[in-house]
Amino acid sequence: MSDKEVLLDVKGLKMHFPAGSRSLLGGQKRFIYAVDGVDFQIRRGETLGLVGESGCGKSTTARAIAQLYKPTAGEVILEGEDLSKLKAQPLIAARKNMQMVFQDPYASLNPRMTSGDIIAEPLRIYQKRGILSMTKTETEERVEMLMERVGLSRFFKNRYPHEFSGGQRQRIGIARALALRPALMLCDEPVSALDVSIQAQILNLFKDLQDEFGLTYLFIAHDLAVIQYISTRVAVMYLGIIAEISGSADLYRKPLHPYTQALLSAAPIPDPAIERTRKRIILTGDVPSPDKVRTGCYFYDRCSKRMDKCAKSVPRLKEVEPDHQVACYLYHDPE
């Protein structure tokens, strides 16, 4: 993969949150290792799906990429510029090319602002900082164009969020993210709070917008069917690390990591004949606590295929097939 094809390059990203000490009298400090060394690249124009069970660090990864959380370590390189090293003003300018769509369409919109003002807000902020130059008429025209483009009437721009349904509110959030015409959109479970029928509409909207504006997505979801439908490639996350990355079709056809295999075996298939013959992989034990420092494979405690060397060192992502990386000693030797 050439550098020209890479829009976002995430290297060794870590996000550790302090969680007090390990005893009431003080002593050793305790941390929550929410993201513990994540590496992946997103190519321009593609959709990278990020999937994993609740609490594995998907949303924290997106927020650390957007610098809403200051990463503990690692690099977030957007179009050749490391965002983690930028000061306030240069970071704000760089963020113009990267916007976020949040999970909750109810909490992510200001109830005191009209839909038109919500969509125009990023434009006005960047105008005040001298980064963007637009007249009031141009701003209004872009707001109206974006409302129409996401499936809302421009005549609704004076309505408040409580006057819209959940799906309509998420369309407002998408229009707001599009206002600055970013190259990259970080979509943090944008359909999980919506009805299934509305989910399909919003997913199709994302695809249409990608084709029209040449967008690149990091798309987070816990629904495997949603990820399969919208993603070009898929990254599987477990306990703050990436277990496997592959093309979407290849991953669903031939998962390699034991966790990915278990995850996909739990997803229902709408074909009774296939569903009856399918073998389920039942994981034993609980997900380890994220405040534990791990010396071996993060999946060791729950893996039925573990070996002695899995407990001694952490397997790193390695390409075992073309464009298919996996962090598992079943497929490569420890370094």
**Each residue's pLDDT tens digit, 265-278:** 877 766 666 556 66
What integer pLDDT is reported at residue 1 of this predicted model? 46
What integer pLDDT is reported at residue 277 of this predicted model? 63
The stretch 172-197 carries a mean pLDDT of 95
Q: What is the DSSP letter of 62?
A: H
The share of the chain scoring above pLDDT 90, in percent, equals 78
Residue 214 has pLDDT above 80, yes or no: yes
DSSP labels for 158-207?
A: T--GGGS-HHHHHHHHHHHHHTT--SEEEEESTTTTS-HHHHHHHHHHHH
Q: Which residues on adjacent β-strands are paired with residue 172?
A: none
What is the H or E stretch that residue 37 is in?
strand 29-43
The share of the chain scoring above pLDDT 70, in percent, equals 93
What integer pLDDT is reported at residue 3 of this predicted model? 47
Mean pLDDT (the chain) is 91
Instruction: Please state whether 214 falls in left (phi above 0), alpha (psi between -120 and 50) or beta.
Output: left
Please answer whether residues 243 and 231 qualify as being in contact, where contact means their C-beta atoms are separated by less than 8 angstroms: no
**Where do runs of H (alpha helix) occur along 53-114?**
58-65, 88-95
Residue 95 has pLDDT above 80, yes or no: yes
